Amino acid sequence: MRRKIILFLTLAVTLFATGSSCNPPVNPDTKEFKDVMTFPPQWDGTKRGDITYQLLVYSFADSDGDGWGDFRGITDKLDYIQSLGASAIWLSPIHPSASYHGYDVEDYSITNPRFGTMADFRQLVSEAHKRNIRIYLDYVINHSGVNHPWFKAATSSMDNPYRDYYIFSDDPQKDITAGKIPMIGTEGSGGYDGGQWFPTGTMPSGIYKFILNWGSGKAPTVTVSGGGTPDVDNPDQSTEGAKYLYYGDGVCKKFYSKGNDVYELTVDFSSSWGFLVRTSNSTSWPLGTKYGAQQGSSAQLTFDVPFTLYTDYNSNDNIQDLAIPGANMYYFHSHFWTDWFADLNYGSVSTAENSPAFKAIVEDAQIWIDAGIDGFRLDAVKHIYHNETSEENPQFLKKFYDAVNSRFRAKNGRDIYMVGEVFSDWDRVAPYYKGLPALFDFSFWWRMNADINQGMGLSFADATISTHETFRSYRSDYIAATKLSNHDENRARSELGGSLSKAKLAGAILLSSQGSPYIYYGEELGYTGTKTGGDEYVRTPMYWGDRYVTSYTDKIDPAVEAAVGSVVSQEADASSILTMYRQLGRLRNTCPALATGKMERHPVINPQTGGIYSQVAAWYMIEGNQKLLVLHNLGQSEIIISLSDSLDKPLFANGRVQSKKEKEHFQLKMEGYSSAIFEL
Ligand code: MG
């Protein structure tokens, strides 16, 4: 809010000095439809539009030719980001990690050497600030990577100071039910949802006998006992009715049938993850062939005690691996389906700020504040406490924000920016404004996506305004971080059937709506890509048309480059999507009503009265004395709109837009997927 007030004061002075920053010439009367001639107003260079550019460090720009994007590459491409009118960059995680994407952080206090040194990072921050571009770091506070020294220490012994940084249990179901694990204590009204648990890597190895009791009419059981002599591999390779023990690095051994539905096998057991029972030795997992523990229940066996096996004929995801007796389990939320991550333990939210993990992660944030960053993007914040809709996560986030902000304020004298990822519908997102100033508005894109694909624009503004009213009820100075797709979603253009016209329309809607828009790198070039086959396909290298192109993965669809060309080719094309993004970025920074204005419903084109214009989305953007009319045709077909609003001052048009005027009566003809903005 403070920043907005300062911007507004700056703007007021500018307006006073120049009269108006948006004063295009008036279009003459025409009795026939003529193409609207747009007159983009002069920009005074002030960044008003709060546009953030989201980039993935590894795939963006490679300065040293090792195939991986790096800090110097970003620094060298700052003028490109500047050309979009961006006033901030969200960087994907910059810390060391085992994965390419960086969400399994191994040390929050240093840079991944693959991306560059701390000096390189500081240089990036410094050069960005020279252009009035802020730097936001992706900060992963829900979990660390299992290679983080905290986790390694925590699992090295039972009496270790780092033990409290994570959540351990030998019997998760029992401990959760008993309220011994505060972060998982309040799951819904149903009580228990324990998430996913993994062994710590201290799974005991040795010679074990496994006994299956597969009696008909009741659930099968497995019993483990210690000692004995390992069996030779079962020479009977028939698969009919066979049972297999699956463990270790893909070991799959057939049980010996002992009659009466009893099967036995003794092996020299070694496995970091535990074991499963299978009824197929196929290399895939046909449904109904995988037997373990039910997801969220205890997967821990006790010696010589039968354990009831669980299977699911609908989904193998509901089955978790079994732990050998004596194994030690750590917790990770089931959402991510990986054992690379371990959830950090902040204890009860009432005392979270005193937990060692909280203190440590806030302490590491100081390093980045000292390096000059301007904010954080917080990953997966609805998963920190294991109940998305409880008060716990917003309360925790407020504590985290306040702790980091007090450090930031001490250095910079202003409030830090922090945006949270709550990957949910807007009504689930809204309560998180009690904890953070900014949140991503995923519904904004999901709604727009559906509207464009249905060719129905009439309710878009109405629904968007309603969501903002809800956001405002939780925080008066809320920041709605609007967006199209991001690194976890199919590319916007692919969701829109690959259509370039629709992709341009989506970008035009994003940059002409209320909120603080994020542009996911590549959107401004019309990138395609879906997550089918791997997330890398929505994280495609930037095609610069020069030596900076990255090659971090071989999961690259050549169709993307074929469809979009390069930055160089699109810069030379006045009708390219890149040109449109640059025009709109500039316009958003020029016109206060676009930059910080409020959306208002159009009196005619709205769900109550505008039935004949069902394909059109229309609204006003208003800030101070400035009022703009925004129109988008979400339909495939041309439409003619009669308006009592003046169309004398067109500021922007995408696609063919024509107008005619007889006295004070205006008509606007918009081809399918076109957009127009007028100053009133
Ligand atoms: Mg490199």
Percent of the chain with pLDDT over 90: 75
In this predicted structure, the answer to whether residue 90 has a pLDDT above a threshold of 60 is yes
In this predicted structure, the answer to whether residue 358 has a pLDDT above a threshold of 90 is yes
Instruction: Give pLDDT tens digits for 429-465.
Output: 999 999 999 999 999 999 999 999 999 999 999 999 9
- Which helix (H) or strand (E) segment holds residue 587: the answer is helix 577-590
Count of residues making up the chain: 680
- Which helix (H) or strand (E) segment holds residue 173: the answer is helix 172-177
The pLDDT confidence band at residue 9, using thresholds 50, 70 and 90, is very low
For residues 521 and 542, the answer to whether their CB atoms sit within 8 Å is yes
Instruction: Give pLDDT tens digits for 423-439.
Output: 999 999 999 999 999 99
Distance between CA atoms of 426 and 411, rounded to whole angstroms? 34
- Alpha carbon 238 to its chain centroid, in Å, reads 47
Strand partners, 198: 330
Ligand 1 centroid to 646 CA: how many Å? 52
Instruction: Give pLDDT tens digits for 502-543.
Output: 999 999 999 999 999 999 999 999 999 999 999 999 999 999
Q: What is the mean pLDDT of residues 414-424?
A: 97
If one compares 229 and 298, the residue with the highest pLDDT of the two is 229
**Residue ranges in 421-566 assigned as alpha helix (H):** 426-429, 442-454, 460-474, 492-495, 500-511, 558-564
Mention every residue, 6+ apart, whose C-beta is less than 8 A from residue 381.
141, 142, 393, 397, 420, 421, 422, 432, 435, 436
Percent of the chain with pLDDT over 70: 91
**Per-residue model confidence (pLDDT) at position 13:** 36
**Per-residue model confidence (pLDDT) at position 194:** 57
In 11-82, beta strands by DSSP E: 30-35, 52-55
The pLDDT confidence band at residue 338, using thresholds 50, 70 and 90, is low
Ligand 1 centroid to 99 CA: how many Å? 16
Ligand 1 centroid to 343 CA: how many Å? 30
Q: What string of H, E and C letters represents the secondary structure of 594-645?
A: HHCCEEEECCCCCCCCCHHHCCEEEEEEEECCEEEEEEEECCCCCEEEEECC
In this predicted structure, the answer to whether residue 55 has a pLDDT above a threshold of 50 is yes
**Per-residue model confidence (pLDDT) at position 171:** 72
**Which position has the token pair 């309603």?**
466
For residues 236 and 300, the answer to whether their CB atoms sit within 8 Å is no
**Per-residue model confidence (pLDDT) at position 12:** 38
Q: What is the mean pLDDT of residues 197-222?
A: 84
Ligand 1 centroid to 146 CA: how many Å? 25
Ligand 1 centroid to 205 CA: how many Å? 42
The percent of the chain in helix, strand and coil, each rounded to the nearest 5, is 30, 25, 45
The pLDDT confidence band at residue 10, using thresholds 50, 70 and 90, is very low
For residues 309 and 292, the answer to whether their CB atoms sit within 8 Å is yes
Instruction: Give pLDDT tens digits for 255-309.
Output: 999 999 999 999 999 887 889 999 999 888 888 899 999 876 778 888 899 999 9
**Per-residue model confidence (pLDDT) at position 331:** 64
**Per-residue model confidence (pLDDT) at position 181:** 85
**Per-residue model confidence (pLDDT) at position 27:** 61
**Which position has the token pair 């828009």?**
517
Q: In what order do the strands lie in the sheet with 256-259?
A: 256-259, 262-269, 206-213, 221-226, 307-308
The crossing angle, in degrees rounded to 10, of helices 356-370 and 392-412 is: 40
112: helix, coil or strand? Answer: coil
Ligand 1 centroid to 537 CA: how many Å? 20
Distance between CA atoms of 578 and 581, rounded to whole angstroms? 5
The pLDDT confidence band at residue 11, using thresholds 50, 70 and 90, is very low
Ligand 1 centroid to 81 CA: how many Å? 19
CA neighbor of 75 nearest in space, from 62, 85, 65: 62
The pLDDT confidence band at residue 6, using thresholds 50, 70 and 90, is very low
Q: Which residue numbers are catalytic?
A: 379, 421
The pLDDT confidence band at residue 44, using thresholds 50, 70 and 90, is very high
Mention every residue, 6+ apart, whose C-beta is less than 8 A from residue 575.
none
Structure tokens at 144: 């660390």
Residue 203 half-sphere exposure toward CB, CA atoms < 13 A: 22
Distance between CA atoms of 660 and 664, rounded to whole angstroms? 10
In this predicted structure, the answer to whether residue 607 has a pLDDT above a threshold of 90 is yes
In this predicted structure, the answer to whether residue 486 has a pLDDT above a threshold of 50 is yes
Ligand 1 centroid to 341 CA: how many Å? 26
Instruction: Give pLDDT tens digits for 105-161.
Output: 999 999 999 999 999 999 999 999 999 999 999 999 999 998 999 998 888 777 789
Look over the chain and give the mean of its residue pLDDT values, rounded to a whole number: 90
Distance between CA atoms of 307 and 284, rounded to whole angstroms? 25
If one compares 186 and 394, the residue with the highest pLDDT of the two is 394
Per-residue buried b or exposed e for 608-618, using 16+ beta carbons within 10 Å of the residue's own CB:
eebeebbbbbb
> How many CB atoms sit inside 10 A of residue 126's CB?
13
In this predicted structure, the answer to whether residue 335 has a pLDDT above a threshold of 70 is no
Ligand 1 centroid to 365 CA: how many Å? 25
Domains of the chain: 2-44+596-679 (2.60.40.1180), 53-145+368-593 (3.20.20.80), 206-320 (2.60.40.10)
In this predicted structure, the answer to whether residue 193 has a pLDDT above a threshold of 80 is no
In this predicted structure, the answer to whether residue 201 has a pLDDT above a threshold of 80 is no
In this predicted structure, the answer to whether residue 72 has a pLDDT above a threshold of 60 is yes
The pLDDT confidence band at residue 220, using thresholds 50, 70 and 90, is very high
- Alpha carbon 343 to its chain centroid, in Å, reads 18
